[in-house]
Amino acid sequence: MADLTFWTGTMDAGKSTLALQTNHNHAARGRVGRIFTSQDRAGTARISSRLGLTHDALEVVPGFDFWRYVVDALTQGARIDYLVCDEAQFYTPAQIDELAKVVDELQIDVFCFGILTDFRTKLFPGAARLVELADRTEVLQVEALCWCGKRATHNARTEDGVMVTVGEVVVVGDVEDQQGPPAEVAYEVLCRQHHRRSLTAARAKAVSLAPEPLPFG
C-alpha cells in the first residue's frame, strides 16, 4: 500500500538533504520517481541542500495540478513509482488533496518535506493540510539549534538584521550568516523563548557587548 508521508522540522533540520537522500535510495533500487519543489532558495526548478547538494526538480506553482500531471504521464506510458515533494509548506491545500488522491487512487508513494509554521508562528496552509491528511507525520531527528544552544522550534525572519513578525508570508531567503553583514531578508531558527523576545543571535551579541549600567542614577 502506498503512503503519504510528511517529514517536517525547522529550517536547518536537513529536510532537503533527506528529500534528496530519499530519491537516491529509491532510485538505487530501480524505482522511478519525480522530484518537485517550490520557491527553493537556489532558484526555479531546483532543489538544494545547505550541505551543497542540488538536483533538478519540477517547480510547483499555485495552479499546478498533481493529479493531472501524474495521470497524463501514466497515460503517455511513463512509469512513476513515487513523488518527492520538497518545500511542501508552499503548496496549496488543494494540491495536498491532489497528492492524497495520487496515493489512494494510483498507489504511488508521496514523500513530502517542509516546515510547519511561518515566521509569525502560524501554520502554513499546505503544512496544515498535510498534518490533516498524511498517513504518517515524522519530525526530523536532526535538531536545529537556537543560538543559545537549546533546540530551535521557531523560524524567525529578519530584515536588515532586525527580527520582524509582520509582512508577506512567503519571502524567499536563507539562514542568516552571522559572520557577514545583515542580509536584506534572512531567516534564523530560535527556541520559543527567544522568538517571543525577538532575541536573535545578533541582538543577543549586541546586548552582551553593551556596557553594564552604573549602580547609581
Q: Can you give the C-alpha Rg of the chain in angstroms? A: 20
Distance of alpha carbon 122 from alpha carbon 103, whole angstroms: 27
Q: Are 86 and 57 in contact (CB under 8 A)?
A: yes
- The catalytic residue among 59, 87, 105, 159 is 87
Question: Is there a catalytic annotation at residue 87?
Answer: yes
3-state SS, residue 89: helix
Closest CA to 157 of 147, 167, 149, 143: 167
CA 216 to chain centre: 50
The b/e string for 155-171 (b: 16+ C-beta within 10 A; e otherwise) is: bbbbeeeebeeeeeeeb
Residues 6+ apart with CB under 8 A from 17: 49, 50, 51, 53
Which residues participate in catalysis according to the annotation? 87
